Amino acid sequence: MKKKEIDPETANEIKKELAELRAQLESQKKLKKKAAKPKAEKPKKKAAKPKEEKPKKKAAKPKEVKPKKKTKAEINAAKKAAKAAKEKEEAEAKAAKEAAERTPEDDLEEQFSDEQIRNFQIEKMDMDKLTNKVCEIIADFEDKGMLQSDLWKKLKLNSRDGSRLALRLERRGLISREKILQKGRWTYKLIIEQAPIKLESLVNSPCLTCTVEQKCDFENSYPEPSPLHCQLIEDWVAVDLSKKKK
């Protein structure tokens, strides 16, 4: 059999088609390979280590400044200032204490002069009799004294007149006043200084019926009659004291 001869043009076309088919096959093979092999993940880069902070250098300690020595003048001035501050503090404490202990009588004492207090009079009252009565009442309490408020109630005097009367008697030396704290309030306690003479004290006195009374004298020496060495007076005083104690 005779081979058919292919014209050159047809042969070229066939070659081209074959080349295209080969190219397609190769591209398909490459795609299959890519799909079959998973992409290997690249290892992540390690996180960078934080830089170690270098310890800061310690701040240099400030140099201790030594205090300068004080001069004598500065020392004396400091002492004077401390003394003045102490005196001021004491004066303020004293003033505060006096203010807390202040009573209406203290205000009255400042309002009136000594002369006004000594010449004080209560209207329609005999001041001599009132003075004796006050002294007799206070004398009954002896050294213990009595609250002036209790005395004013007993005499039915108001506190203003009673306080001025107490100041009057104190000026005359008949009584003394002692400031005390009573039921949370400051007031005065009155104490007798000069007890009034009572006629009762002379009852049964041996001197009233003494036969040698005219010759009796303090300057006489024993055995001449004298009150300094009289047995009758000693016996009378002893009996009187025993009665008071009872």
pLDDT score for 206 = 81
109 versus 39: the higher-pLDDT residue is 109
What one-character DSSP code corresponds to residue 69?
Answer: P
Cα first-last separation, the chain: 189
pLDDT in tens, 112-168: 777 888 788 888 888 888 988 999 899 988 888 899 889 989 989 888 888 888 888
Q: Is residue 38's pLDDT more than 60? A: no
Enumerate domains of the chain plus CATH numbers.
Answer: 105-192 (1.10.10), 199-245 (no CATH)
Average pLDDT, the chain: 80
Most confident listed range (46-55, 167-176, 193-202)? 167-176
The one-letter amino acid at 188: Y
56 versus 93: the higher-pLDDT residue is 93
The first and second tokens of residue 211, run together, are: 């036969």
- Angle between helices 127-139 and 148-155 in degrees, nearest 10: 130
Cα–Cα distance between 138 and 97 in angstroms, integer? Answer: 29
Q: Is residue 229's pLDDT more than 60? A: yes
Q: Which long-range contacts (CB under 8 A, 24 or more apart) does 83-88 make?
A: none
Over residues 48-59, the mean pLDDT reads 66
29 versus 167: the higher-pLDDT residue is 167
pLDDT in tens, 177-186: 998 888 888 8
The percent of the chain in helix, strand and coil, each rounded to the nearest 5, is: 55, 5, 40
Backbone φ/ψ region at 68: left (φ over 0), alpha (ψ -120 to 50), beta: beta
Question: Is 232 in contact with 212 (CB distance < 8 Å)?
Answer: no
Over residues 101-109, the mean pLDDT reads 73
The first and second tokens of residue 101, run together, are: 């202990």
Q: Is residue 39's pLDDT more than 60? A: no
pLDDT score for 69 = 79
The three-state secondary structure class of 166 is: helix
The three-state secondary structure class of 210 is: coil
pLDDT score for 3 = 52
